[in-house]
Amino acid sequence: MDDRADLPLEDIPPPRRRRRLARFLFATFLIGAVAATTIAVAGIWMFNRTFTDPGPLTEGVVLVIPRGASVRSIGALLESEGVIDDATLFSWGVRALGGERPLKAGEYAFPAQISARGAMALLQSGKIVERRLTVPEGLTTLQVLAAVGAADGLAGELPPADKFAEGSLLPETYQYLRGETRDAFLTRLQTAMAETLDQLWRGRSPDASPLKSPQEALILASIVERETGLAAERPRVAAVFLNRLRRGMRLQSDPTVVYGLSNGTGTIGRPITKTDLATDHPYNTYVHAGLPPGPIANPGRASLAAVLQPIKSKDLYFVADGTGGHAFARTLEEHNRNVAKWRRIERQRRKK
């Protein structure tokens, strides 16, 4: 045993003194290192927990991340909109945990209580909001233009109305992203109609023989579209008009009369009258034989298919039946009975 172990430091020989001092400094360093590591681990744990904890957003919000925005400015936007608590923490988290994946511009839907880490992942994913606009069958082109003009998220002014002919826009539900121009959106509808009409025309049935061109098919399909709102009736209504064309009979379609009187809006805001039916204009199919000079609306795919792949039928007439549908007839005598029934229904309704 070394009796000098307990001697004061100044009484210990220099070599032994240096070794003792080294042991002391190493122990001090080790304690400091452990403490620093503990603090660092605790800090990382706290940072990770804060970065992944639910955020302050109480309900979902849609935000637009501009092109070229920095991580700092994106964090500031998210903080100002209540998506995250701390923009600086978000910036640190993206730099530390985001890897090489950048934050992408676009319109994003942030759900309630999304964490800062979740917001980072969403912006890295590029899963931007896809908007939808449903264009119903049977709208006129002016009505479609109005709907596109009012659609949120589309950019730019509406093109001139005469750029898109009546019947040239295919009704359907379309997806679009914020910033797509209205002109480009309408061009997509136009392209969809041209492709659909071409496909159905090439696969047309021999029973569609009264129709001499795709344009004639489009015209008749637009009439069918406006004559009935029931999908199940479209093939039968189409068959009636095809049968009448074969026989050289006038189509006598009320919607064609309305279109001619409405300057293309498709509505006159009142019931049609006998005077209307006798008014001479190019779209009046009570006055003029054959098809009108152009479509009276934008027909959907089902109406196009109804006239190009028609059912076999001998019906020549139809009239409203009071249920939202129509009563069909092969002979004028049968049709007159159906008309009489419809007039009784109308009288009863007026009395109520």
Say what the pLDDT of residue 42 is: 52
As a whole number of angstroms, the distance between CA 89 and CA 73 comes to 13
248: burial class by Cβ within 10 Å (0-12, 13-18, 19+)? exposed
Give the right CATH number for 63-125 from 3.40.50.12780, 3.40.50.150, 1.10.10.10, 3.30.1490.480: 3.30.1490.480
In this predicted model, what pLDDT tens digit does every residue of 85-114 receive, in sequence order? Answer: 999 999 989 988 888 899 999 999 999 999
In this predicted model, what pLDDT tens digit does every residue of 151-165 receive, in sequence order? Answer: 999 999 999 988 999
In this predicted model, what pLDDT tens digit does every residue of 170-208 receive, in sequence order? Answer: 999 999 999 999 999 999 999 999 999 999 999 999 999
Does pLDDT of 278 surpass 80?
yes
Say what the pLDDT of residue 96 is: 86
pLDDT-derived band of residue 263, with 50, 70 and 90 as boundaries? confident
Highest-scoring range by mean pLDDT, 6-20, 138-152, 318-332? 138-152
**Arithmetic mean of pLDDT, 110-123:** 95
pLDDT-derived band of residue 45, with 50, 70 and 90 as boundaries? low
Could you write out the DSSP letters of every residue in 253-285? Answer: -HHHHHHHHTTTSS--SS---HHHHH---TT-T
pLDDT-derived band of residue 43, with 50, 70 and 90 as boundaries? low
Does pLDDT of 79 surpass 90?
yes
Residue listed under structure tokens 């047309």 = 204
Say what the pLDDT of residue 135 is: 97
Does pLDDT of 23 surpass 50?
no
Say what the pLDDT of residue 51 is: 84
How does the average pLDDT of the chain come out, rounded? 88
**What pTM value is reported for the model?**
0.77
Say what the pLDDT of residue 229 is: 87
In this predicted model, what pLDDT tens digit does every residue of 247-258 receive, in sequence order? Answer: 999 999 999 999
- Decide the pairing of beta strands 317-320 and 61-65: unpaired
As a whole number of angstroms, the distance between CA 302 and CA 146 comes to 23
Does pLDDT of 240 surpass 80?
yes
Say what the pLDDT of residue 44 is: 64
Nearest to 339 by CA among 315, 324, 320: 320
In this predicted model, what pLDDT tens digit does every residue of 306-338 receive, in sequence order? Answer: 999 999 999 999 988 888 889 899 999 999 898
Say what the pLDDT of residue 61 is: 94
Neighbours of 264 (CB within 10 A): 16
- One-letter amino acid at 164 equals F
- Decide the pairing of beta strands 326-329 and 106-110: unpaired
Say what the pLDDT of residue 64 is: 92
Which tokens hold the place of 159? 């093109």
342: burial class by Cβ within 10 Å (0-12, 13-18, 19+)? middle
As a whole number of angstroms, the distance between CA 183 and CA 345 comes to 46
φ and ψ at 159, to 5 degrees? -70, 170
Radius of gyration of the chain (CA): 38
